[in-house]
Amino acid sequence: MKKLILIPAFVLFVSVISLAQDIAGDWNGTLNVNGAELRLVLHIAKTPDGTLKSTLDSVDQGAKDIPVTSTTLQDGALSLKVDRIGGGYEGKVNKDAREIAGTWSQGTSFPLAFHRGGIAEKAAPRPAVPSDIDGDWGGTLDTGMGKLRLALHITNTDDGLTATMDSLDQNAKGMPVTTITRNGSSLKFEMKVIGGAYEGTIHPDVQSFAGTWTQLGKSWPLTFTKVKDTAELERKRPQNPMRPYPYKDLDVTYKNPKAGIELAATLTIPEGRGPFPAVLLMAGSGPHDRDETLMGHKPFLVLADYLTRKGIVVLRADKRGCGKSGGDYSQAVMEDFASDADAGVAYLKSRPEVDPKRIGLIGHSEGGLEAPMVAVKNPGVAFVVLMAGPGVKGSEILRAQQKLIEASIGKSSAEIEKDAVTQREIFAILGKDEDDSAREKELRAALAGTVPDAQIGLQIKVLNSPWFRDFVKYDPAPTLSKLACPVLAINGEKDLQVPPGQNLPAIRKALETAGNKHFEVTELPGLNHLFQDANTGAIGEYAEIEETMSPVALEKISSWILKQSAAGTAKVPEKMAKAGVD
């Protein structure tokens, strides 16, 4: 799924092996991107077992304490992985461990040297008499795939106008505007670090300016309007619970001994006497935190709150390599996430508040692929809820998804078919048994002319990742055909990402093949992939809808779980239990 990238946010997370030189401490460096300077501070710490863990600050982007995916030092060579944005760093530590010289890669490569110590803050320009355009301005950029709300902050100084911009729906704040100039009613500004520029005309009443935003070779109309308080631009999320909660809310950690990592999570426990039924929440694709945060929504926070108020213990964890969880997200495939979920089930069994015979899984989207993987191998899983869980092979879902999404943004049938041909070519390449470099070369040729050159490197990083190649090939039917515990499978009628007409019948057929007598397959009218009440189901609506999750979906899930708990879980036939363990 293509999307506008407003900021190359330097993200990600955790650790590997270090030997020899001691590079613990703070390091500073400056990355020159398209003529703009990004000052970085790298914080490296050594854990008690000798491994390295690091975080990164992007000073000019206002981003602090960003976890790094993995930090490896071997024979003086430092390697950092930053996989969410397809970035990474390779450098060589000098003999006295005072400098690291190397290269930052993110689609293309840039030289980057780190030096010992923090970074001196630039002296801020001295404020001058405010101009008539000083202040905060709000605008909405409609890219066709969705609408991004922007906030522009302009200040007059002794050195002239300065500005920063926030992309509110991408949670990117304080992005530096490289240059901003005004000539009468003409206003121009450039943001080199993201390859973006704006040209507009100030309205005579100085309450708005209209113009064009250009980025990565594409242009869109964009109007900014004066706002008194940028808080009025924030989306309302009325379902987000407010503290104090009427239940216990604990930050916990538990180990996955198979992977040798520790996972960080939140456990919510109802008030009253237990033991209670319990569920583990399993997020969809992407490096999600424990709340499955996306598009300004926190679906798992809302779901956990609702279920806990109904008397159900809920465990929700940051994915491995994300948030505060250990591990390497970039190298993980679905079996790895299933292994992490298995560790979560074991942790729930250890809690005195939990009835060990009433522990279930709720998997959303990709989590709906992995939950059955866990359940067929772990007889301790009493039930499974599939929220927009796939029922067919990954490549089939992606084909249907692309056609539906492109139609929703107004592409012609000819354009859709042209993109489908490219997609089929890509899937054929991914199915070949060849090394990464050969596959990358073929992917680059297939993508040439279909996306801007600046994005090809990032696209290839995603397509060539272990997870994506695993997902494209994976068929959930054989696993679902062994699933003997009670199952609830729900989809939104307007889901464009995991279409219900394609997937629910396949899930039903597989469960019938399993001989499962305790399942329900239901399509919920009017709901999209996030189970919001939607108009069209288009991805662009996700952020605009205030509702995080439909009360109909919340009630359906909770009442079904409580019904299973009240009735007791169905006994798994011995033959099927053995089949699941093999």
Mind giving me the DSSP string for 508-576?
Answer: HHHHHHTT--SEEEEEETTB-TTS-B-SS--GGGTTT-S-SS-HHHHHHHHHHHHHHHHH-PPPPPHHH
With a cut of 90, say whether residue 64 has pLDDT above it.
Answer: no
With a cut of 90, say whether residue 259 has pLDDT above it.
Answer: yes
Residue that the structure tokens 């080199």 belong to: 192
Do the beta carbons of residue 300 and residue 436 sit within 8 Å?
Answer: no
Mean pLDDT of the chain: 88
Distance between CA atoms of residues 361 and 396, nearest Å: 25
Give the pLDDT of residue 46. 85
With a cut of 80, say whether residue 258 has pLDDT above it.
Answer: yes
Average pLDDT over residues 458-478: 91
With a cut of 80, say whether residue 509 has pLDDT above it.
Answer: yes
Q: 329: pLDDT confidence band, cut at 50, 70 and 90? A: confident
Give the pLDDT of residue 553. 98
Q: 579: pLDDT confidence band, cut at 50, 70 and 90? A: very low
Which phi and psi angles does 305 have, rounded to 5°? -60, -45
Do the beta carbons of residue 503 and residue 491 sit within 8 Å?
Answer: yes
Q: 86: pLDDT confidence band, cut at 50, 70 and 90? A: low
Give the pLDDT of residue 557. 98
Contacts (Cβ under 8 Å, ≥6 apart) of 277: 311, 312, 313, 354, 355, 358, 359, 360, 382, 561, 562, 564, 565
Give the pLDDT of residue 129. 93
With a cut of 70, say whether residue 380 has pLDDT above it.
Answer: yes
With a cut of 50, say whether residue 14 has pLDDT above it.
Answer: no
Distance between CA atoms of residues 358 and 133, nearest Å: 61
Q: Is 83 helix (H, G, I), strand (E, B) or coil?
A: helix
With a cut of 80, say whether residue 332 has pLDDT above it.
Answer: yes
Give the distance between the most distant pair of CA atoms in the chain: 81
With a cut of 80, say whether residue 570 has pLDDT above it.
Answer: no
CATH of domain 135-233: 2.40.128.120
Distance between CA atoms of residues 208 and 227, nearest Å: 10
Is the link from the previous residue into 390 a cis peptide, with omega within 30 of 0? no
Q: 123: pLDDT confidence band, cut at 50, 70 and 90? A: low
Average pLDDT over residues 295-304: 95
Q: 483: pLDDT confidence band, cut at 50, 70 and 90? A: very high
Rg, the chain, Cα only:
25
Q: 1: pLDDT confidence band, cut at 50, 70 and 90? A: very low
Task: Give the pLDDT confidence of 412-445 residue by residue, as tens digits.
Answer: 999 999 999 999 999 999 988 888 889 989 999 9
List the one residue out of 465, 475, 410, 472 whose CA is nearest residue 439. 465
Average pLDDT over residues 507-536: 97
> What would the two tokens of residue 570 be?
């169905």
Q: What is the pTM of this model?
A: 0.78
Give the pLDDT of residue 35. 65
Please, where in the chain does CATH 2.40.128.120 lie? 25-116, 135-233
Please, where in the chain does CATH 3.40.50.1820 lie? 247-392+475-581
Contacts (Cβ under 8 Å, ≥6 apart) of 340: 256, 259, 261, 263, 317, 319, 320, 327
Instruction: Please check whether the domain covering 247-392+475-581 is classified as CATH 3.30.470.10.
Output: no
Give 117 or 345, the one with higher predicted confidence: 345
Give 571 or 527, the one with higher predicted confidence: 527
Give the pLDDT of residue 145. 74
With a cut of 80, say whether residue 455 has pLDDT above it.
Answer: no
CATH of domain 25-116: 2.40.128.120
Which 8-state DSSP code applies to residue 49? T
Do the beta carbons of residue 224 and residue 200 sit within 8 Å?
Answer: yes
With a cut of 60, say whether residue 575 has pLDDT above it.
Answer: no
Percent of the chain with pLDDT over 90: 63
> What would the two tokens of residue 168 be?
């509110």
Counting DSSP H helices and E strands in the chain, the numbers are: 12, 26
Task: Give the pLDDT confidence of 262-278 residue by residue, as tens digits.
Answer: 999 999 999 999 899 99
Task: Give the pLDDT confidence of 145-160 residue by residue, as tens digits.
Answer: 778 889 999 999 998 9
Task: Give the pLDDT confidence of 382-404 residue by residue, as tens digits.
Answer: 999 999 999 999 999 999 999 99
